[in-house]
């Protein structure tokens, strides 16, 4: 992963944060439809499959990362429950809403020092891609404070881990 990070600008979710994420989600993972936006290395989505998700959609804009995700899915023998989309996150959200796709859990971890997170959460909150009572978890830099509401999404809690925060939203 270090090689990918240096060469391609990927900042994978750390093991500590990923472990905390699945501690938070574990009771909701069984048979969940999971969306891994800004999938990067695919580690979070693959972990979701191992934790019992019925299926995971990986959305990643970089073709090299998509190839790596495909390789990892095959290596872990879980590609039959995965869909990989080489697409920008906001475009995917729009298309998914138009096609009535829905998810129980959405995880997003866009680049820290951009406005992508706000745009993506706003798009998710305006759409119906997250089921009622579904969970959206956004990983972001600790110095970025998120609003408590994005249309249908309301913030339940922030979890702090060093320089990272996991903000948990629930859909109404």
64, pLDDT greater than 80:
yes
User: Token pair of 11, please?
Assistant: 């900042």
With bands split at pLDDT 50, 70 and 90, how would you rate the model's confidence at 134? Answer: very high
- Pairing state between β 164-171 and 153-161: antiparallel
Specify if 163 maps to a domain.
Answer: no
DSSP letter string over the chain?
-HHHHHHH---PPPHHHHHHHHHHHHHHHTT-EEEEET-TTSHHHHHHHHTT-SEEEEEES-HHHHHHHHHHHHHTT-GGGEEEEES-HHHHHHHHHHTT--EEEEEE---TTSSHHHHHHHHHHHSS-EEEEEEEEEEEETTPPPPSEETTEEEEEEEEETTEEEEEEEE-
1, pLDDT greater than 80:
no
Task: State residue 160 phi and psi, 5-degree precision.
Answer: -105, 130
pLDDT tens readout for residues 116-125: 999 999 999 9
Which CATH number belongs to the domain containing residue 39 in this structure? 3.40.50.150
Domain count, the chain: 1
Specify if 123 maps to a domain.
Answer: yes
Specify if 171 maps to a domain.
Answer: no
What pLDDT was estimated at residue 17? 85
Specify if 112 maps to a domain.
Answer: yes
Q: Which residue is it, tokens 């995917």?
A: 92
Task: State residue 105 phi and psi, 5-degree precision.
Answer: -135, 135
What pLDDT was estimated at residue 122? 97
What pLDDT was estimated at residue 16? 83
pLDDT tens readout for residues 17-42: 888 999 999 999 999 999 999 999 99
Domain that includes residue 28, residue range: 2-142
The whole-model pTM stands at 0.91
What pLDDT was estimated at residue 94? 95
Specify if 133 maps to a domain.
Answer: yes
What pLDDT was estimated at residue 12? 63
4, pLDDT greater than 90:
no
Q: What is the dihedral of CA 109, 83, 150, 134, to 10 degrees?
A: -110
Specify if 77 maps to a domain.
Answer: yes
Specify if 31 maps to a domain.
Answer: yes
pLDDT tens readout for residues 67-97: 999 999 999 999 999 999 999 999 999 999 9
Give CA–CA dist 146/33, Å, rounded.
25
Specify if 87 maps to a domain.
Answer: yes
């Amino acid at each position: 992963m270090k090689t990918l990070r240096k060469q391609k600008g990927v900042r994978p979710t750390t093991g500590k944060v990923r472990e905390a994420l699945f501690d938070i989600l574990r009771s909701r993972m069984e048979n969940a439809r999971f969306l891994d936006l800004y999938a990067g290395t695919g580690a979070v989505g693959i972990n979701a499959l191992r934790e019992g998700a019925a299926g995971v959609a990986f959305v990643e804009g970089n073709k090299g990362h998509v190839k790596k995700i495909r390789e990892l899915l095959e290596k872990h023998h879980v590609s039959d429950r995965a869909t990989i989309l080489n697409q920008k996150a906001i475009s995917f959200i729009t298309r998914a809403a138009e096609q009535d796709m829905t998810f129980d859990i959405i995880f997003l971890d866009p680049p820290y020092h951009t406005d992508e997170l706000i745009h993506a959460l706003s798009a998710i909150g305006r759409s119906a891609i997250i089921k009622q009572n579904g969970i959206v978890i956004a990983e972001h830099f600790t110095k970025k404070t998120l609003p408590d509401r994005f249309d249908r999404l309301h913030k339940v809690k922030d979890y702090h881990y060093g320089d990272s925060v996991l903000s948990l939203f629930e859909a109404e």
